[in-house]
Structure 1
Amino acid sequence: MKAVVWAFGLAIAAMSVPVTSAVAAEAKQNFVLVNKTGYEINAVFVSPAKSNDWEEDVLGQDTLSDGESLKIRFQRSAKTCKWDLKVVYAVDDSNAVWSGIDLCTVAKVTIRYNKKTDTTTASFD
């Protein structure tokens, strides 16, 4: 019986190696952006907090509809943890900006728009 349990343990360990390797290959700044604003987003920019310029639009020609999410991936060589995020709405080109997000500890950013206060907020998980 011990041999069966030991063999089963080895099989489980062997199956977890590729998963561990795949996770290790991803940058720790990767996160999921969730759009719960009620509006379509036309552009998403993510730039290092110390940068004076926005990087390229990560959506490219695409848009992010309400209720959709987007996995934003970084190159493994990215070293900084603090990033700024900017979203631009498709309806009127207005935007919302968040500064100094610690993407080394955040895996999901959910944005919401409140019509009564005319504000876009974000929660960081």
Structure 2
Amino acid sequence: MFRRFLAASAFAAMAAAATPAFAQCDTTFTLANASGVTIMELYFSSSNNSNWGNDRLGSNVLPAGRQMTFQPRPGGRYDFRAVFENGSSVERRGVDLCSVSTVTVQRGGISAN
């Protein structure tokens, strides 16, 4: 019985060591709209993915001065794109979601801290 415990403990330790550190981080972030205009569409995806995927706002919009919270999985670097009500857009690439808690959209770009 003790050998089974040791084997199980060793396996669990190896599995934890093999898991990338970014997979275990808190990826929760607040997206703040400081642009002064409504964000009509929001996209973010892993920087490893060449496709933006679906609009994260869905049928909603994000009015100026408002914010939303997201928690994508897994962690790592993400690219962001926001489309404003006039059709213009801003992008930011390579945001490490393991090290930021707020992503702020402005007319001139997207900042992360």
Instruction: Report TM bin, short chain.
Output: 0.7 to 0.9
List gaps (5 residues or longer) in structure 1: 1-25, 114-119
Q: Partner letter of residue 53 of structure 2?
A: E
- Note the alpha carbon deviations across 1:38-63, whole angstroms, 9 max, x for none: 10000100111011101211100000
Structure 2 residue matching 1:104: 3-state secondary structure: coil
In 2, distance between residues paired with 1:27 and 1:57? 24
Say which of 81, 84, 89 aligns to 2:84. Answer: 89
List gaps (5 residues or longer) in structure 2: 1-23
Could you tell me which residue of structure 2 aligns to residue 47 of structure 1? 45
Structure 1 residue matching 2:51: 3-state secondary structure: coil
In 2, distance between residues paired with 1:62 and 1:98? 21
TM-score (norm 2): 0.73
TM-score (norm 1): 0.66
Asked whether the equivalents of residues 48 and 82 of structure 1 are also in contact (C-alpha less than 8 Å), the reply is yes
Aligned length, in residue pairs:
90
- Note the alpha carbon deviations across 1:25-78, whole angstroms, 9 max, x for none: x9622210000101000010011101110121110000000000010122xxx3
Asked whether the equivalents of residues 27 and 73 of structure 1 are also in contact (C-alpha less than 8 Å), the reply is no
Could you tell me which residue of structure 1 aligns to residue 74 of structure 2? 79
Q: Map 1:1-125 onto structure 2 (within 5 A).
A: 28-74=26-72, 78-90=73-85, 92-113=86-107, 120-125=108-113
Structure 1 residue matching 2:45: 3-state secondary structure: strand
